[in-house]
A and B are shown apart, each in its own frame.
Chain A
């Protein structure tokens, strides 16, 4: 049973790959499959969660950075491909900002190596690295105009004045700031400052753009707008984006792939769908969304059941379905959806989310009903929760 689960878990993303990246990559993958099933893929002897399809732009190999009493990273290995939108997701203090600083060159690892475009740049200073960072507080130069802020990088590269003019002009167009080129940062709104920060990094045509919680300082409406802006800009320029965030919606909606970090260690890497539907551990499962974790067997095993997979009905489960008898404890109307918190007869807390239209009529607190689900929609976690 467990083995079949594992196989299906691996099979699904392959079909996904196939339709996306074409026959050659799929075949390459199918060749790898026997090995994937028996042992984790290895690269230079390090476990790498997902070998990227295109050339590797950022590679971390067993990187460790510890601080006294501060968040660090422990034996972290990652491989990010050209053109990817990759996110590092985790709660504050999980080591994601440290990871970014290690790649940008503001931190040196105590062990392991940092590869950029295939070169070992573990000990290179920040100004010699082909990556650019968008700081959380933007760190715009207050004494320079928008234009001069964006021109800072090209001027550091000693480019010809004509080329600087052309590049800066073009980049300001991409972020739609051409009209504000003469303003100072303090004369701009938060969203505009954010665009300047993006432009200032993008103008250098970096191998990868590193973004440290770039949307955290914006109010919710603006954050949604800037989120689609980010995606549009990444599509337009085609540069690898590495986003660090604690906002799961942001990570899920933007990323081609994402990694969940927990206490300085990599929990799992995969596509948003993969991580949401088939998380390896309870940490990933709960961090990516509301989760029902049902105990499985006596070994502390856990089965994940997403709230939207749960159907509430007055009638018991049909053949092939599973079900639990439960009592409604709380109803939270949220517009398009309703969140229902329940308590099962065997004292499990459950949560169900359904569209307003999909729920049985006259649902009330205290009501007894059946929670039903298709076993194929549930997922057995690999690592039991501690």
Chain B
């Protein structure tokens, strides 16, 4: 490739990445803004005040913590159930296993609004009051397929004779699972956990149908934009961004040195 071509390609890439990260940059930038009035939308001047009191906005902090707890609980539940499904599908010869797998992948293509209305109908029909419980049930439900499929992919590369070897060396089945299968499955478990966490953390559609009076972060923010946008929103967003970037760096496998 000639130099002009390389330059053009570089510019094009820069533009693409610029667009990709522009909103992120704006968010980070405005977390340092000192707004006048209730809407942190116009750049006024630099301040560290917002970062000094990240949890000053009480309602925002409450919604943030609700979402955090919900996402962790939903991720744990989804990974537990999805992991068991993945184990069953990859180990035992389940009758009609292929159909079960298809049923597992189907929710991925299902529009979220369909799931949301179905869940609402179900909860109303069961006379289940909408709140934290229904939120947890519905969030772990839509995370389940992702978790199960992620773990199934991880299990596909798992040599089942390793577990037999552990038993042969004197470890009872459960101990063999704990000492061999679980550590080898750990990267898959972490990936499924992170995926489920972020799916639940930023979910709006399903939450809006099943939350009742409970406010998750996305629900709170959607409402807040009509009343007030505090700079703490940007501060918390930046924090979340930092945490997820950190997790991504930690979770990416280290480059193996060639033998």
Contact = CB atoms under 8 A, between A and B. Distances in A.
Interface of A: 104-106, 125-127, 132-133, 135, 137, 139, 141-143, 152-153, 156-157, 187, 200-201, 204
B162 interface: yes
Given A143-B183, A156-B171, A187 B259 contact: yes
Given A142-B184, A143-B184, A187-B259, A137 B161 contact: yes
A90 B164 CA distance: 24
Given A135-B165, A187-B259, A127 B183 contact: no
B185 to A, nearest CB: 10
B175 interface: yes
B180 interface: yes
Given A135-B165, A139-B162, A156 B184 contact: no
A127 B166 CA distance: 8
A364 B169 CA distance: 59
A101 to B, nearest CB: 9
B150 to A, nearest CB: 19
Contacts of B183: 143
A201 B170 CA distance: 10
Contacts of A137: 159, 161
Q: How large is the interface on B (under 10, 10 to 19, 20 to 34, 35 or more residues)?
A: 20 to 34
Nearest to B180: A141
B167 interface: yes
B172 interface: yes
17 contacts: A104-B168, A125-B172, A125-B173, A126-B164, A126-B168, A127-B170, A127-B172, A127-B173, A127-B176, A133-B168, A137-B159, A139-B159, A143-B183, A153-B170, A156-B166, A156-B169, A200-B169
Given A141-B180, A143-B183, A143-B184, A126 B167 contact: yes
Contacts of A200: 169
Most A C-beta atoms less than 10 A away, residue of B170, B172, B179 = B170
Nearest to B169: A153
Interface string B50-77: 0000000000000000000000000000
Interface in B156-205: 159, 161-162, 164-173, 175-176, 179-180, 183-184
A104 B170 CA distance: 11
A142 B181 CA distance: 11
B168 A127 contact: yes
Given A135-B164, A141-B166, 10 more contacts: A126-B167, A133-B168, A135-B165, A139-B165, A143-B180, A143-B184, A156-B166, A156-B171, A187-B259, A201-B168
A133 B166 CA distance: 10
A156 to B, nearest CB: 4
Contacts of B259: 187
Contacts of A106: 164
Contacts of B180: 141, 143
Contacts of A104: 168
A379 to B, nearest CB: 41
A132 B180 CA distance: 17
B193 to A, nearest CB: 19
Contact of A141 (B162, B167, B172): B162
B169 A204 contact: yes
A132 B170 CA distance: 9
**Can you list the 8 inter-chain pairs with the closest CB atoms, starting with the nearest?**
A156-B170, A139-B165, A153-B169, A126-B167, A139-B161, A156-B171, A127-B167, A133-B168
Given A143-B184, A200-B169, A156 B164 contact: no
A153 B168 CA distance: 9
A153 B180 CA distance: 13
A126 B171 CA distance: 9
Contacts of A152: 166, 169, 171, 179
B167 to A, nearest CB: 4
A156 B175 contact: yes
Contact of A125 (B161, B167, B184): B167
Nearest to B162: A139
B219 to A, nearest CB: 42
Contact of A132 (B159, B168, B172, B175): B168
Nearest to B176: A127
